[in-house]
Amino acid sequence: MDKWLLDLGGKWLIRIIIAMPLRGSRFTPLQNKLKISPSRLSENLLKLETLGYVKHLSPVERRHPLLPEYVLTEQGLRVKDKVTLLEALDDLIGIKWTIPILCVLYQGHYQFNDIKKILGMTPKMLSTRLRELEETGYIEKKVISDYPIQVHYSLCKVTRDKLHVFMNSEY
């Protein structure tokens, strides 16, 4: 599993990277575009900066010294190229852990404990997300044996097709 995919598993991180223009953006236009609260945007930009995907420009580097401005780093630009391929799964981008779960399933890990171990998720969070993905039709759940219970999760064909381009593109 790619580290950047785990880094960006939160609700807003991928959306911010997708919304960020290539030449950079000021805080307020970015906030208006995403329809996000100032504190939430600030918190997520700080996280992206800490992870190395976004750079907060100094007053000397900005177009206007008093207005906060952010640009994507080289690493951020590479991730932007990759995550724009996820726009087919737009309704899932803002839900924490869904994209990493789908990617793990795409790579052939179908058992609950395997997914939990790879992603480092709590059992409660994983079972909640798997149930949501099953209810929305992105994955299928199949009980293989009753005792001991063995459950196999897999991607639906449509989901697999949407993820194929994303998973096979260069980072």
Walk me through the domains of the chain, giving residue ranges and CATH numbers: 3-92 (1.10.10.10), 97-167 (1.10.10.10)
How open is the CA angle 48-138-9, to the nearest 5 degrees? Answer: 15
Q: What is the pLDDT of residue 39?
A: 95
**Distance, CA of 82 to CA of 34 (rounded, Å):** 20
Q: What is the pLDDT of residue 5?
A: 66
**Distance, CA of 86 to CA of 4 (rounded, Å):** 14
Partners of 151 in the β-ladder? 143
* Rounded mean pLDDT, 97-108: 88
Query: Would the pLDDT of 166 be above 80?
Result: no
Q: Distance between terminal CA atoms of the chain? A: 13
Residue 4 binned pLDDT confidence (cut-offs 50, 70, 90) = low
Could you report the per-residue pLDDT of 27-43, keeping only the tens digit for each?
Answer: 999 999 999 999 999 99
Percent of the chain with pLDDT over 90: 35
Residue 49 binned pLDDT confidence (cut-offs 50, 70, 90) = very high
Distance of CA 162 to the CA centre of its chain: 15
**Distance, CA of 161 to CA of 155 (rounded, Å):** 9
- pTM beyond 0.95: no
Query: Would the pLDDT of 6 be above 70?
Result: no
Tokens (6 digits) for 7:
């880094």
**Distance, CA of 132 to CA of 147 (rounded, Å):** 25
Query: Would the pLDDT of 10 be above 80?
Result: no
